[in-house]
Amino acid sequence: MYPELFRIPYFDFPISSFGVLMACGFLAAWWIVGKRFEEHGLDPELSSTIVLYAAIGGILGSKLYFAIDVGLVRGQGEFLDLLLDRGGITWYGGLIGGILVTTIGTRIHEIPTRLVASAVAAAAPFGQALGRVGCFLVGDDYGVRSEGWWAVAFPKGAPPTRDSVTGEVFSVHATQLYEVAWLIPVGLFLWSRRKKSNCLFGEYLMLAAIGRFVVEFWRVNPQAGLGLTSAQWIAVGLFVSGAALCAYYRDKPEPVPNPA
């Protein structure tokens, strides 16, 4: 585990491995989105602006989701404290916030939202995978106990994998890496589909939802209904939304002004 990489001298400000990997994820997304903008005949310089919109919306959305879920729904903390805490970056909240703010950005800069969504879909799995590596390095978002040889212990995790009574350190499913193992092939698949699909973003929603739904069976989140967690129910909603988008755009080719 490497939760903290170093501290900024004089300010004693910690630089976390998660923060660095999240920044790398946005940089990777920026590079891929730029390539897709070129293929779509859009100004590649705008890719950094679009990714900035996505980053702002993603971070705000993830924090709001976390504060509402943990503070208001579960009653496990004060809403404002959770909102301002450095931890608590949730993917679902980040996805929703990123979509909303990025859509506003496309309206401001008068570029086709559908083309931007297609560009983002090719980049999102890789950025998301880097973020999950960051989660692994800080010992966050792991799964239930496991005796398998592949299991990992996080004695200084958030929270530590340590029995509260005996103090014994135990191993768990490294669900962060399970998601990485799913997201990288998804990203490669979507990249191969970028010039064939009429709705790449819909395909991304469905594939991301499948991965999260399955991995959630090894996570420690409480059930919300019918034996499924709230994250799994959201995954169902995302899958349905993605399928609906694909059905709607099935016979509507992307408005590519300058196909590569």
Q: What is the pLDDT of residues 97-133, one digit of tens each?
A: 999 999 999 999 889 899 999 999 999 999 999 999 9
Q: How far is CA 4 from CA 15, 18, 22, 60, in A?
A: 6, 8, 14, 23
Q: What is the pLDDT of residues 59-107, one digit of tens each?
A: 898 888 888 877 777 777 777 777 777 666 777 888 899 999 999 999 9
Q: How far is CA 188 from CA 101, 126, 144, 192, 204, in A?
A: 26, 9, 29, 6, 11
pLDDT at 219: 92
Our CA angle for 57, 203, 174, nearest 5°, is 70
pLDDT at 256: 55
Which residues lie closer than 8 Å to 105 by C-beta, 6 or more apart? Answer: 49, 50, 53
Q: How far apart, in whole angstroms, are the C-alpha atoms of residue 235 and residue 240?
A: 9
How large is the average pLDDT for residues 137-154?
Answer: 92
Percent share of the chain, pLDDT over 90:
55
How large is the average pLDDT for residues 148-174?
Answer: 90
Question: Token pair of 45, please?
Answer: 């310089």
pLDDT at 259: 43
Question: Token pair of 73, please?
Answer: 């729904």
* Strand-pair category, 152-153 with 228-229: unpaired
pLDDT at 260: 39
The dihedrals phi and psi of 84, each to the nearest 5 degrees, come to -90, -10
CA 135 to chain centre: 11
Average pLDDT, the chain: 88
